Structure 1
Amino acid sequence: MSFETLRYEVDADGIALVTFDVPGKSMNTLTNKTQDELNSVIDRAVADAAVKGIVITSGKPGNFFAGADLVEVSGHFFSDAMANASPKQVAEQVAVMSNLYRKLETCGKPIAVAVDGLAVGGGFELVMACHYRVASDNPKTQFGLPEVKVGLLPGAGGTQRLPRIIGVQPALLYILEGKNMSAMEAKGLGVVQEVAPAAEIVAKAKAWVLANPTKGSAPWDAKDFKVPGGAGHMNPKYAETFIGGSAMVSGRTFMNYEAPRAIMATIYEGVQLPIDRALALEIKYFTKLILGTQAKAMIRTLFVNKQAAEKGARRPADIAPMPCKKIAMLGAGLMGAGIAMVTAQAGIEVVLLDRDQASAEKGKAYTADRLAKDVKRGKMSQDKADAILARIHPTERMEDVAGADLVIEAVFEERGIKADITKRTEAVLGPDVIFGSNTSTLPITGLAEAWSKQENFIGIHFFSPVEKMPLVEIIVGKNTGPTAIAKAIDYVAQIRKTPIVVNDSRGFYTSRCFGTYVLEGYHMIAEGAGAALVDNCGRFTGMPVGPLAVGDEVAIDLSYKIKEQSKKDLGDAYVHTKGDDVIDKMMELGRFGRKNGKGFFVYPEDGGKKYLWPDLPTVFPLADEQPSPDDVKTRLIFRQIVECARCFAEGVLETPEDGDLGAIFGWGFLPFTGGPFSYMDSLGLAKVVEILDGLAAKHGPRFAPPQLLRDMAAKGASFYGHDSLKQAA
């Protein structure tokens, strides 16, 4: 019998070596085909009296197993064919992998696994279903259960086997946070029994099988098995763990996320049950999650759409690859220095230009400081750090940018300054080089006027801090051509970030929509709402920080400059708001935010914890009647949502995928919703229009839904539905 995704070989000692090697993929995933073949292999090994045991490994050095293929999983469970399936039918399909691993675990023959590289999700669950585990000392060898990050829980035994191996409390930490453990961590916790060089792990696994021919069962199948650290609702430590765990989950998620609560329940109930009943319980909770809207939205945006974007879903298809070899980075400030660092880390040469040599050298020092910390922590070798630094060439001489195949500009956010450096760059490089501006608000079409070949001018908008933020917003001006788009997307792929592509407008997509969150918070302060109420409710919605805190971080004086530039550009068309009055007052008082230690919050010079400025109620008097927390949260969420919908209606966004990715990875919009467009779909567009109309009637036209949204709602359409969005317009 031959197999497509694995190899089956029995050696002279009677050891069946099962080597996973899914063709065409760098990482093994458990597809339907792989499950069928593993099932056949188990039957074959059990039926063969000459087989003394099984050793499982990977044919991909440095990569073991990533578990289920989420693209295949989402394509199946969220398909039309499954739309009318009953919960029981869904549960039966969910149970296939869990039952397969249980079949392996109870087949009666000793099972060892040799792990080299990443073993996560269903891959780690497969490892735990084996009776003996050997890991390589390769730094890439990591074990983890990341399902919580896409709104799910481990559904093939992870919530039940890990607590039975390492104890409930440590298992909760790994499963709730979705974090990985290294091979040595796994050894210390008892997840693996041996750590050895990669070349030796299969031999060591085979040796254990030969030495333990009767060890073909898991510890938890023994009648006298006890969970490490104790279990049971009468156990004081067990009760304390879940009391504290529940408080931790509530404090970190504000009860917005379904998966962490389901994980807590599954482990609490399941660990007190026999393993087979516990696995059935896990399937029940997994099924409940996958039938809900949250997991569907999170998987679609955070995995499927993100992966598609990173593979070039929005790249013009008829243009050959255009990898960067050398970029000219204009501006060595915070943004320019960060862009230079991630570019050099990707193996690309960088000419880092600033107004004088000292400023350019300071920009390079940004990278040197961060790499030094990585070396000190053992995350990077000194040789690698030196090689990265050697790729950054600080200079004050414009002629040094000669030979660059991409320009990225990140100078001061003022149209005249940008125009001047754009023209000086073209004088050295010529107009055929692609020029990318990192502006966060100024329209690309206007900035492109300073570059003679406007089809080669594009926006490449990074987020701060560059090295941590995963998104890059690519902005297409009125005259931007496909070659510039392709070049920008190829560059973003090289530096391993996630691109979205949007069309030109003031503030583009991310800055425009994110700004509404901050301004709505300011608007409520102007109306007399308490600062603590406004800021805490922002966090309660699921945003990473409150609107006042993030306004301080961005800098209030920057908001003022953007506002003034917009007023200058728009003239009578500019709409003044109460939020603008708050910005003006804070500027008058010299409160610019964290940058000068005083904004809506006070930032102690000794580095102590920030606190709300005590005089805020004096400057912005409190109203006698305060809004309810629900009202505050609704305003903060839907002010963002309506602006996202307007961006789609105006053609700034061409796809809801870009809108959801940009919102979550650009400004942290409620990840549990899958993004604003997924959220609108889950609520139903008719309900969204109803809520917005109510807000507009009470608070003004900034909440009024665009006509496209009304038309879609009237036709029962959705952003991710079958109806063509353009037809609904």
Structure 2
Amino acid sequence: MTDSFKYEKDASNIVTVTMDMRGSVNAINDEFIEAMRSTLTKLQAEENLAGVVITSAKKTFIAGGDLNDLVAAQPGEEQGVFVRTEGIKALLRQIEKLPVPVVAAINGAALGGGLEVCLCCNHRIAVDSRAVLLGLPEVGLGLLPGGGGVVRLTSLLGFEKAFPFLIEGKKLGPAPALAAGLIHETVATQDELLPRAKAWILENPSSAVQAWDVKGFKIPGGGEENPAIRQGIVFAAAGLQKKTRGLLPAPEMILDIMVETLRVDLDTALRIESRQFAQLVTTPEAKNMINAFFFQMNQVAGGQSRPKGFEPNTVSRLGILGGGMMGQGIAMSAAMVGIDVVIKDVTMESAEKAKAYSEKGLAKLVQKGRMKEAAAAEVLARIKPSVSDSDLQGCDFIIEAVFENVELKHSLTKSTESCLAEGGVWASNTSTLPITALSTASSKPANFIGMHFFSPVDRMPLVEIICGAETSEETLAKAFDLTRQLKKTPIVVNDSPGFYTSRTISTPIQEAAQLMAEGVNAVRVESVGKSVGWPVGPLALQDEVSQKLSLDIIDAQISMGLRKTEDDPTPQGTALMRCLLNEHKRGGRVHGGGYYEYSESGKQIWPGLRDLYFKEDVDSAVSDQDIRDRLLFRPVIESLVCLETGVLRTVADGNIGSIMGIGAPTWTGGYIQFVNTYGLVRFVERCRELESKYGKRFAPPQIAIDKARLGELFQ
């Protein structure tokens, strides 16, 4: 035995195995394997054994597999991954083959490998606590549950009910997990957990065989011979293809394993799962997603960019200037976490309308059963609509969220900055205007910062924090803390026109306009654009942003001396947008239509684009690969330029910001990580090919050339 698992046998001959591995959590790694192997050897040698309880001494049950091991696996090492996976599964199979009942006493989160261990037990009991969360979220990391999770959950719940847990990575708390069949019962307190587990063993001495090991076992809902299940499989495959466009291998592999589970015996299905897992782990998509959504997300959310030496700061009173789409979303997000909010607009009608947004959103949460009416009323009571500056007195933080007009923002700073409490912070929710320029109206520019929220604020998880030239480290720390208080993910960037996200998100839509202006079919541009893996095509995205707003931003930056007309990297594309806006009144969806026509029956590309710009000889001369690379390489190159020039402070901020803020395809792991898996040398060569054909905007940034020469990755 090792010290990792505590082994205690009581007077009733029930053994309690308490996992207490080195470090803060239990994880499925070499230490776990050795401890479990030793424990099973001892259990199998026990005489008069009545049952086994598996529990944890940590706050979590088991955190899952060790991702460091998984991300280290390289192409060509699949057989080694398979052998290791089969070895772990053999131990889990031994648990469910023990001749006595085994109970999982779940005291905390059991996600991924943690739930897979629980599924091997005959009975699962969880504490009814918010700390308990159950699920198989591996798909969100580009992986599949490799410890039997796909096979056992499909066998336990059936194809249809298991689908959202496996394909979508759905996670549940104790009560809904009980209703869904993931666990068998709950107890109210931690103190009741082990006594109840032991009592169940004594009440059920013959319940030592898993349902799928009983002769004649049938999967709930039926197997593939059931016409409804067959139809469900067809619909699931079609839905996945539409959603992932074939760019994410994990969901497709999970679906394959689920189907195989319906066809073959359990042990064969488990072996198929191991083969698929071993193939998946070494793919670039899996490595990219593990890197972004686990390692780099932990760096960003954990405070990598927060200045050290400042005590944590909590905002209790927040002022918001402007009750439009952004202001009302910030207000709801703040009130939801217990912050008192004053939302000020020019008329009480507008301010009340901003509060009504929260009222409507809270009512939906109540209707869906995600919030009690009393709690919703408490949240709503925290929001005070106002037209008076005096109501802002004593605010710890004021966020200005009016439209992108420098003069208006300056006037609000001058008139209301004095309302801040001592040491209070003024933030501008701007998406494009330089913070240093905006802070010139402030009497305390060290306390001035940018906080770029994303719409809709109450659902979008990212905040881009922008430091001006005089922003203090303490102000940055306070803005970072407020972002975390709002339960959002902060990235920190330095000042420039458009910062990181706005200047990067604009590049593929600019390139799409340039392609059409050159003569490429608009329908083809949109179709190839969707194949990159963005949530929507570049033309649809431009319509949502609105051509008018994009042109207004360009013109504002020109008037402020922040850019020159002659430096436009896609002049034909800009001219195309101006033509559509000025001559055809097509300024975007909110203006009645842009690249698309909109009707009650849906939307379609405006036929006028073909009449005005399509050139068959140009269209046929440009390959789909060139279109795809032109659209994808533009934001990648822009991200590298931001890193090279110091706009981005870290690679992690760039990757997380691109995925969570501007919809970078998840398979890339973020725009900078894309370069790592594409290959630095190959990336530089492809940039030069595109530059020679389409212009200097595709020139490889020097930072990429240097990394390629040194054989280094972006980390």
TM-score with structure 1 length normalisation?
A: 0.90
Counterparts of 1:78 and 1:118 in 2: how far apart (Å)? 23
Give the corresponding residue for 1:257: 248
Give the corresponding residue for 2:206: 214
Shift in Å at residue 235 of structure 1?
Answer: 7.2
Shift in Å at residue 195 of structure 1?
Answer: 5.6
- Partner SS state of residue 460, structure 1: strand
The farther-off stretch of 524-533 and 463-472 is 524-533
Counterpart amino acid of residue 428 in structure 1 = C
Shift in Å at residue 229 of structure 1?
Answer: 4.2
Give the corresponding residue for 2:603: 610
Give the corresponding residue for 1:594: 589
CA deviations 1:186-205 (Å, max 9, x no partner) are 55665444466557665554
Give the corresponding residue for 2:46: 48
Is residue 689 from structure 1 mapped to residue 681 from structure 2 by the alignment? no
Give the corresponding residue for 1:17: 16
The question of whether the paired residues in 2 share the 8 Å contact of 1:9 and 1:17 is answered with yes
Give the corresponding residue for 1:375: 366
Unaligned runs of 5+ in 2: none
Give the corresponding residue for 2:577: 583
Give the corresponding residue for 1:343: 334
Is residue 426 from structure 1 mapped to residue 417 from structure 2 by the alignment? yes
Residues 516 and 284 of structure 1: CA distance in aligned 2, closer, same or farther (over 3 Å): same
Residues 559 and 197 of structure 1: CA distance in aligned 2, closer, same or farther (over 3 Å): same
Shift in Å at residue 66 of structure 1?
Answer: 5.0
Shift in Å at residue 223 of structure 1?
Answer: 4.2
Residues 565 and 57 of structure 1: CA distance in aligned 2, closer, same or farther (over 3 Å): same
Shift in Å at residue 230 of structure 1?
Answer: 4.3
Percent of aligned pairs sharing the same letter: 38
Residues 182 and 494 of structure 1: CA distance in aligned 2, closer, same or farther (over 3 Å): closer
Shift in Å at residue 392 of structure 1?
Answer: 1.6
Shift in Å at residue 35 of structure 1?
Answer: 4.9
Shift in Å at residue 444 of structure 1?
Answer: 1.1
Residues 488 and 628 of structure 1: CA distance in aligned 2, closer, same or farther (over 3 Å): same
The question of whether the paired residues in 2 share the 8 Å contact of 1:94 and 1:283 is answered with yes
The question of whether the paired residues in 2 share the 8 Å contact of 1:78 and 1:296 is answered with yes
Residues 373 and 264 of structure 1: CA distance in aligned 2, closer, same or farther (over 3 Å): closer
CA deviations 1:637-696 (Å, max 9, x no partner) are 111111111111111112211110111001110111111111101111111111111111
Is residue 65 from structure 1 mapped to residue 67 from structure 2 by the alignment? no
Residues 622 and 116 of structure 1: CA distance in aligned 2, closer, same or farther (over 3 Å): farther
Shift in Å at residue 337 of structure 1?
Answer: 1.0
Shift in Å at residue 517 of structure 1?
Answer: 1.4
Is residue 106 from structure 1 mapped to residue 97 from structure 2 by the alignment? yes
- Partner SS state of residue 153, structure 1: coil
The farther-off stretch of 15-24 and 617-626 is 15-24
The farther-off stretch of 189-198 and 686-695 is 189-198
State which of 282, 289, 292 in structure 2 corresponds to 1:298.
289
The question of whether the paired residues in 2 share the 8 Å contact of 1:57 and 1:64 is answered with no
Give the corresponding residue for 1:657: 652
The question of whether the paired residues in 2 share the 8 Å contact of 1:329 and 1:340 is answered with yes
Counterparts of 1:697 and 1:34 in 2: how far apart (Å)? 55
State which of 625, 629, 633 in structure 2 corresponds to 1:630.
625
The question of whether the paired residues in 1 share the 8 Å contact of 2:395 and 2:419 is answered with no
Counterpart amino acid of residue 220 in structure 1 = W
State which of 455, 471, 493 in structure 1 corresponds to 2:484.
493
Shift in Å at residue 519 of structure 1?
Answer: 1.1
State which of 515, 527, 541 in structure 2 corresponds to 1:550.
541
Equivalent runs, 1:364-403 vs 2, <5 Å: 364-403=355-394
Give the corresponding residue for 2:531: 540
Shift in Å at residue 24 of structure 1?
Answer: 7.5
Give the corresponding residue for 2:667: 672
Counterpart amino acid of residue 639 in structure 1 = R
Counterparts of 1:483 and 1:288 in 2: how far apart (Å)? 47
- Partner SS state of residue 480, structure 1: coil
Residues 369 and 7 of structure 1: CA distance in aligned 2, closer, same or farther (over 3 Å): farther
Residues 324 and 96 of structure 1: CA distance in aligned 2, closer, same or farther (over 3 Å): farther
Is residue 226 from structure 1 mapped to residue 218 from structure 2 by the alignment? yes
Give the corresponding residue for 2:151: 160
Give the corresponding residue for 1:460: 451
Residues 652 and 171 of structure 1: CA distance in aligned 2, closer, same or farther (over 3 Å): same
Counterparts of 2:708 and 2:23 in 1: how far apart (Å)? 43
Residues 83 and 120 of structure 1: CA distance in aligned 2, closer, same or farther (over 3 Å): closer
Give the corresponding residue for 1:482: 473
Counterparts of 1:247 and 1:493 in 2: how far apart (Å)? 38
Residues 353 and 574 of structure 1: CA distance in aligned 2, closer, same or farther (over 3 Å): farther
Give the corresponding residue for 2:138: 147
TM-score with structure 2 length normalisation?
A: 0.92
Counterpart amino acid of residue 371 in structure 1 = L
Residues 22 and 472 of structure 1: CA distance in aligned 2, closer, same or farther (over 3 Å): farther
CA deviations 1:226-279 (Å, max 9, x no partner) are 3334446x7766655544433222221111012122223333345544433432
- Partner SS state of residue 343, structure 2: strand
Equivalent runs, 1:190-209 vs 2, <5 Å: 190-194=181-185, 197=188, 202=194, 204-209=196-201
The farther-off stretch of 689-698 and 145-154 is 689-698
The farther-off stretch of 392-401 and 615-624 is 615-624
The farther-off stretch of 410-419 and 111-120 is 111-120
Counterparts of 2:331 and 2:29 in 1: how far apart (Å)? 40
The farther-off stretch of 278-287 and 85-94 is 85-94
The farther-off stretch of 359-368 and 206-215 is 206-215
The question of whether the paired residues in 1 share the 8 Å contact of 2:61 and 2:107 is answered with no
The question of whether the paired residues in 2 share the 8 Å contact of 1:19 and 1:59 is answered with yes
Counterpart amino acid of residue 604 in structure 2 = Y
Counterpart amino acid of residue 143 in structure 1 = L
State which of 643, 653, 656 in structure 2 corresponds to 1:648.
643
Give the corresponding residue for 1:726: none
Residues 656 and 64 of structure 1: CA distance in aligned 2, closer, same or farther (over 3 Å): closer
Shift in Å at residue 328 of structure 1?
Answer: 1.8
Counterparts of 1:166 and 1:418 in 2: how far apart (Å)? 56
Counterparts of 2:62 and 2:392 in 1: how far apart (Å)? 43
The question of whether the paired residues in 2 share the 8 Å contact of 1:98 and 1:156 is answered with yes
Give the corresponding residue for 1:509: 500
Shift in Å at residue 341 of structure 1?
Answer: 1.1
Counterparts of 1:695 and 1:181 in 2: how far apart (Å)? 47
Counterpart amino acid of residue 211 in structure 2 = P
Shift in Å at residue 618 of structure 1?
Answer: 2.9
Counterpart amino acid of residue 151 in structure 1 = G
The question of whether the paired residues in 2 share the 8 Å contact of 1:270 and 1:282 is answered with no
- Partner SS state of residue 408, structure 1: strand
Count residues in correspondence.
Answer: 708
Shift in Å at residue 150 of structure 1?
Answer: 0.5
